[in-house]
Every structure is written in C-alpha cells, then in structure tokens.
Chain A
Amino acid sequence: MNQERRAQWLRGVLDLCVLALLSRGESYGYELSQALRAHGLGTVQGGTLYPVLLRLQRSGLLTAHWREGGTGPARKYYRISPAGSAALRAAAIDWSAFASSVGTILREEPKR
C-alpha cells in the first residue's frame, strides 16, 4: 500500500483504533503499537502514538496509571473510560456509514 496514503488515512482514525484496542483491555504504548501493526496498519511510531494517547487521556476518554513491571520497567497503562466507550460506540457507527459511502462510490460502474 502507498505509505503516504496509509499515513494520511490513519491520521483520521488512529484515535478510534486506539480506543477500540483498549476497549478489549488495558494496555501500554509499545504493546498498542505492536497490536496496530498486527492488525495490518503498519508501523505507528511513538512520536505519533503517544500524543494521541495523551490527548485521549486529557479528554477523559482514557484513564492512565503507572504500574511496576515484574521484570521490566514501570509502564503507563491506559484504560478506556465510560466516556471513551460511549465515544467509541458513536464513532464506530459514523465510521461504518462513511466507509460504506466511500465503498459505494469506488464500486460504482463507470457510465458508458
């Protein structure tokens, strides 16, 4: 896939992807970046990911707390808040409608 286009698309939906991943359980930055990669979204660098996490935290959609690792260093774990779940539900519906509109346009047969 065209890297630049993917980055552009991702900018619009990264916060939703993060909310969705966290709706399945708490996680920390590095693990989230691995999960995004595993879902086929390529490499989302820390410089992009952490400001999004911070903004979601500031908006009250995520909560965060530090926890000592058993072996590794202390990590900042993020968890989705009730407001975050509500925002995610609403945005997921909007996204489906939007993506299906785009899909319809792209699939339309050219007029002869």
Chain B
Amino acid sequence: MNHEPWLAALTGELRRHGVGPDLTGHVVAEAATHLLDSGESPLRVFGAPETYARAVVDSLGGPDVRPPRRQPGPVRLAARGVTKRYRGRTVLDRVDLTVRAGQIAAVVGANGAGKSTFLRICAGLLSPEAGTVEVHGTLGYCPQDGGTAEFLSPDEHFVLIGAGRGLGRTAARRAGRAEAAGLEWTPPRRTQARHLSGGTRQKLNLVLARLGEPDVLLLDEPYQGFDRGTYLDFWHEVWRWRDAGKAVVVVTHLLNQLDRVDVVLDLSGERNA
C-alpha cells in the first residue's frame, strides 16, 4: 500500500503545529516503520494526519511526571568575588556563584552585562582581576559560537574531543550519537561541519561539551538557531543532566525557563553604565 500521501500530509501538519524538522522527521519515520510492520492503513492506525499531529503536539507539552527532585549534592562550582575590568570599565564586580551537583544555575542579564565573560572565567579561559573559581570534578564548556572545526564531520569531532576526555574511537562515536539522539538529531556520516546549518552546528557544539559526561557543564546560550522542538529537547536534556547529578550553568537571556532552574545569577545590576 502506498502510504506516502498520508506521511506527506502528516509532515505538513507537524510543521504547521510548530514541530521542528528533526522531531518531525523522527515522528514520520517512526510512523512509516510501524505501517510497514503492521501492514495496516495509516488512517486506521493513526487516524487523520491532522488529528495525529495534534496528539503529538499535545504529548510534547504534556504534564511533567518526573519524580521529585533529589537533594542537591556537593559543591561543584564555587565562584567568589569575581571581578573583571575591560579598558577601565568594570564588567563584573565581585560576582559570587555556587552550584552544587544536581542543580541548574541560570546566568541572566542584558547584552554586555558580562554573562559570557563570567562563563569564560569559570571555564578557565580568561583570568579575573580579582576573585577565585573552584571547580570540583570534570568540566565541559559549550561556547556561544565556534567550537566546531569546519572540515571535520560530526563523528570526527566526537573522536577528536572524546580522545581528550579518555574515550576511544568507538566509545566516543557512540557517546556522541547517543547525546545527539537526545536532541532528536542523527548526525550525518560524512557531512563536514561547514555544511551544517547554524542550529545543527550548535547541536554538535552541545554534544561535544557533553562528551565524557563532565560533572560541571557551562553552556553559553547553546540553543541559538534551534527551532521550538529542539529548544524543548534542549531543556529536557538539561533537566535530565541535573537529575543525573550534574551541575549545569546556562547563560540565557530568555527568562521563561527560570522557574525550572535552581539558582539565578542576575548580572544586570552588577555594572554602572
């Protein structure tokens, strides 16, 4: 039986409902496989494309049934009195932040408030004028942009970065692909990073930061270029990492997720304009 018209209509309906291309691809591929296995008509198995698309969308925004959060663990990141000046201007003024295992910290503030600077200091890429940063455990850092190599494929990235974190080739590739699946992304085998879209390159960036499952994750607005579905995927992954006992620091200017984080560091008032 030819299911293509129904599958094409489902693709269109999912898009219309704001489901991103990756998740749409997964839902449609899964439906197509089911139809092959069962040999039944799509209308019988899934109903009208519009109805099924709505059921999919409803399930994305469904109630949160995760078990209650565990108690946060030991301190993983402790920044004390971090101060940074650029050309006589104080960007960060005695900033403190403590993040424990099993906590998410959001770093918020206007453009130029020093969010990325603070994260780079936490990552050890930049020295502060004053103050200390202690990291207890392994560290993963996802920069706002960059971080990927133009001429390497996603798998080559996994192997390269994985090697630095003690993973063999096979383990690194498997770990990278498993992380990518969490973002509903199946990395293409031979495509070089320069041919990936901006959003997809950000996914790669994020997957690289997660390789080896570091104890502390520093994420600098890692969802730029993500569509709505992937953005939701991203937050679900962050919550999952927290529940696995990771300490996560996310730089964000989107405040609508703040009720789902544990610590908020607002840098807006830190600086005299």
Contact = CB atoms under 8 A, between A and B. Distances in A.
Contacts of B44: 45
Contacts of A86: 67
B27, B37, B232: residue with the most chain A Cβ atoms closer than 10 Å: B37
Contact of B67 (A47, A74, A83): A83
B60 A45 contact: no
A97 interface: no
A75 B33 contact: yes
B236 interface: yes
B186 A66 contact: yes
Nearest to B58: A51
A46 B46 contact: yes
B6 to A, nearest CB: 12
Nearest to A50: B30
Nearest to A73: B33
B interface, by DSSP: helix, strand, loop or mixed?
A: helix
Given A29-B30, A45-B46, A87 B67 contact: yes
Interface string B231-272: 010001001100100000000000000000000000000000
Interface in A47-77: 47-48, 50-52, 54-55, 58-61, 63-66, 72-76
Given A45-B44, A47-B46, A59 B66 contact: yes
Contacts of A58: 59-60, 62, 232, 236
Given A30-B34, A30-B37, A76-B30, A50 B56 contact: yes
Contacts of A46: 31, 34, 38, 45-46
A48 B56 CA distance: 10
A58 B186 CA distance: 17
B51 interface: yes
B59 A55 contact: yes
A47 B45 contact: yes
Contacts of A73: 32-33, 36
Contacts of B171: none
Contacts of B29: 66, 74, 76
8 contacts: A30-B34, A45-B45, A50-B27, A50-B31, A54-B60, A58-B60, A75-B33, A81-B240
Interface of A: 15, 28-30, 33, 45-48, 50-52, 54-55, 58-61, 63-66, 72-76, 81, 83, 86-87, 90
